[in-house]
Structure 1
Amino acid sequence: MTMINNSTSISLIHTANDYYNSDDYVHALPLYIEILKNECNDAMTWYRTAYSYRMLYGFNSNTYSLYYQAYQRLSTQMPNSVYTKYAWNQIFNVNQYFKVLPATGIRAENGDLYGVDNDGDGRRETVFVHGYYRKDGTYVRSHYRAK
């Protein structure tokens, strides 16, 4: 169910899958990331990217984000697949390890993730801010901020 058309990307997928199948995640991961940059929507490519990343770097916010993206695609493209269940379990495992899922939901309106350094200032953002309207009528989407 590959959703990439150009031959370069298809060639990258085959090469990355060969590395992945031989447990060579060091070489597979950069290829998968290059494929994802081309707006790949293939569920298994996202899954293999997440798995390769976890094998190399363990559980962290990037692992969570990759598995979350994989799960969204898998649940649509392959809802009864064992990979869909595994991706969900990995999201749960990262949650248990880092406590990244907030009571208000996984992601704020502006795309921020709970417990992640969303703005690059080196601080984890764990305080949920509800969306609100400014005096001038501008709507500020919900987001997370550091304490």
Structure 2
Amino acid sequence: MKRLMAICIFALVLSCNSNAQKTATATKTDFKVSKTEAEWKKELTADQYYVLREAGTERPFSSDLNDNHREGTYVCAACETPLYKSENKFESGTGWPSFDRVIEGNVAFSTDSKLGYSRNEEHCATCGGHLGHVFNDGPKETTGKRHCINGDALKFVPAK
């Protein structure tokens, strides 16, 4: 029994340190907008920094953008790259702004395995800021995708 316990503990330690658990991340030089962490901290609010630069997640239903129904464009809060159009926003009931598609070329994707399983993570393609994740449980009548995005990663620009 002690031997089995030792083997299980050893396997657990190895699994926690495997390459499969590491996130695919790009360095700051991979993006058009590149700043030091000190520069980002100076320009962003604490909540924006947590989400965009530390890949954090805001509390559900905490963003004013979740219930925003105005016409316009959602841009990156760090570099103002247009990311999502209001016409592609839908009510997912999850507590985060949700979209069924991105503005092509402005959002980059990677794999996030921090929770022990793989998720598709979204980043601003211009500055690398973490936006959220994309899931396959969106509206079937459109793309079937749900881009679940942190409101702190976005700014809303109303249509003129």
What TM-score, normalized to structure 2? 0.27
In terms of fraction of residues, the more helix-rich structure is: 1
In terms of fraction of residues, the more strand-rich structure is: 2
What TM-score, normalized to structure 1? 0.29
Bigger radius of gyration among the two: 2
